[in-house]
Amino acid sequence: MAVITEPLKNQADLLRRGLADLRAEDAELAAILDAEVTRQQHTLSLVSSSCAVQPRTLAASASVLVNVTAEGMSGKHHSAGCENVERVESLAIRRARQLFGAQYANVQPHSASNAVYQVLTALLEPGDTLLGMAVEHGGHLTHGSLAAFSGAYYKAIQYGTTADGLIDYDKVRLLALAHRPRVILCGASAYSREVDFKRFREIADEAGAILLADISHIAGLVATGRHPSPIDAAHVTVTCTHKQLAGPRGGVILSGADANTKIPGLRTTFSRLLDQAVYPRMQGAPAANMIAAKAAALGYAMSAAFDACMAQIRSTADEMAKAFQAKEYEVVGGCSENHTVLVRLRGGITGAIAEAALGHCGIIVSKHRVPEDPRSALVTSGLRIGTGALAQRRVDVHGSRQIVDLIVRILNTVAPLGEQDYTLEPLLLTQFRSEVETLCRDYPLADYQ
């Protein structure tokens, strides 16, 4: 047992003490956490949702606010002793509104999935109709998949992309007019082109639907003006805080021009309904320490450093898309307009094999289905590459080309055995691993860990 010699005076004392205790008294857990730091530093993550938090955000998430129960919304916390939770929540809300130019922000949702469900359950009765993008076409489970709550509790109509990988807006309109959904969801998890939020709003207005935009994947690009913003186009927007925003695991609900308008068919406004949708309808007390971390991340997202990182995300995605095309790979959608590059594999290499073989070499990337994919979601024929974590390593044009070149050499070397198995010569594997190691050294995650 560690002996307490004097009371802990501040947050820094507490963190130092916590880390020392962890090392001294729970070596098993400490070793796993250290192994993860090593893994993240010595692999290249091309996972399209991935990014590393700033140390300041990490520290804020570990604050003593975790000890406070503060049921209720900002300004109306029920419990005693909530004055600092109140201050931190107001700060996070102010920053979220400023960053996105929103009238309304709710920073309590524990995740983006929760945030989507909070909005849906507030606006829909079980069995009501929603229209969302199919997972197989790049949508998210919460947008109407039968495997999730969204598809099980609502009558979910799904739209997708054309064979070229572009959202088929005419089809969306026809589906909306035919099925008259109460809510239309837009925003994707695997879509490399701009989403036309204004077009979606026109369709929603024509069909008498409420538009919910989910910008979990592109929130940083939206915040820095590199992707059109849905804040005023959609009635409600949700985002997670742990992808491009480099914050803690959590969600935010936003609303712009419609925040204080009455909801069709209801006697209340969006902002009032959204507050109730989170508490008391779906959550209890918020995770105040995570709200502090959201405030830290949202503050960082207003910095010049963050802006530069978002610029790098875009240029790296452009460069990688071109580099794959130069090697005669099909890039779905023809190019990237965000952080995502969706590549169709060839030569009998399935997504499952590519993911496993590249992972073995230290390049972490997800398999993904591509338009008209003959293979199942477990196998797939594509790779979904994201440039968020590479931008944080400041991978430049030269580095982007080197990485694509390495990926292509690895894929050319792999010998597939069916759909999931493969062989890769041990000598070459060692060679590829050391090339990844060199890239990780040349482009370190220095500012982040």
Ligand X SMILES: *Cc1c(COP(=O)(O)O)cnc(C)c1O
Q: Point out the annotated binding site.
A: 139-141
Longest dimension (CA), the chain: 71
Nearest-approach distance from CB 196 to ligand X, in angstroms: 16
Among 108, 113, 145, 402, binds ligand X (CB under 6 A): 113
Q: Specify the long-range contacts of residues 133-137, CB closer than 8 Å, at least 24 apart.
A: 133/158, 133/159, 133/160, 133/167, 133/185, 133/186, 133/187, 133/188, 133/191, 134/158, 134/159, 134/160, 135/189, 135/377, 136/160, 136/369, 136/373, 136/377, 137/161, 137/371
Does 112 interact with ligand X (rule: CB under 6 A)? yes
Does 271 interact with ligand X (rule: CB under 6 A)? no
Residues in contact with 325: Cβ distance below 8 Å, sequence separation at least 6, in sequence order = 331
Measured between alpha carbons, how far is residue 313 from residues 50, 78, 269, 385, 388 in Å? 12, 42, 37, 12, 6
Among 61, 145, 189, 381, binds ligand X (CB under 6 A): 189
3-state SS, residue 422: strand
Nearest-approach distance from CB 258 to ligand X, in angstroms: 20
Does 240 interact with ligand X (rule: CB under 6 A)? yes
Q: Two tokens at 248? A: 């803690």
Nearest-approach distance from CB 38 to ligand X, in angstroms: 24
Q: Two tokens at 23? A: 């090392």
Does 294 interact with ligand X (rule: CB under 6 A)? no
Does 283 interact with ligand X (rule: CB under 6 A)? no
Does 187 interact with ligand X (rule: CB under 6 A)? yes
Does 299 interact with ligand X (rule: CB under 6 A)? no
How many residues of this chain bind ligand X (CB under 6 A)?
13
Does 158 interact with ligand X (rule: CB under 6 A)? no
From residue 48 to residue 67, what is the string marking binding to ligand X with x (rule CB under 6 A)?
-x------------------
Nearest-approach distance from CB 440 to ligand X, in angstroms: 25
Q: How many CB atoms lie within 10 A of CB 99?
A: 23
From residue 115 to residue 144, what is the string marking binding to ligand X with x (rule CB under 6 A)?
-------------------------x-x--
In terms of CB distance, is 344 or 384 closer to ligand X?
A: 384
Does 111 interact with ligand X (rule: CB under 6 A)? yes
Distance CA(292)–CA(298), nearest Å, equals 10
In terms of CB distance, is 297 or 410 closer to ligand X?
A: 297
Does 251 interact with ligand X (rule: CB under 6 A)? yes
Nearest-approach distance from CB 341 to ligand X, in angstroms: 16
At residue 321's C-alpha, the angle toward residues 317 and 325, to 5°, is 170
Distance CA(193)–CA(390), nearest Å, equals 19
From residue 193 to residue 232, what is the string marking binding to ligand X with x (rule CB under 6 A)?
---------------------x-xx---------------
Q: Two tokens at 169? A: 């807006």
Nearest-approach distance from CB 435 to ligand X, in angstroms: 30
Residues in contact with 197: Cβ distance below 8 Å, sequence separation at least 6, in sequence order = 186, 211, 213, 228, 229, 230, 233, 234
Helices (H) and strands (E) in the chain, counts: 16, 15
| Contacting range for ligand X; rule: CB under 6 A; set: 5-13, 111-119, 316-324, 415-423 | 111-119
In terms of CB distance, is 190 or 404 closer to ligand X?
A: 190
Does 339 interact with ligand X (rule: CB under 6 A)? no
In terms of CB distance, is 11 or 111 closer to ligand X?
A: 111
Residue 384 pairs in a beta bridge with 342, 366
Residues in contact with 436: Cβ distance below 8 Å, sequence separation at least 6, in sequence order = 42, 43, 44, 361, 362, 363, 406
Does 176 interact with ligand X (rule: CB under 6 A)? no
Q: Under the rule (CB under 6 A), what is the footprint of ligand X?
A: 49, 111-113, 140, 142, 187, 189, 214, 216-217, 240, 251
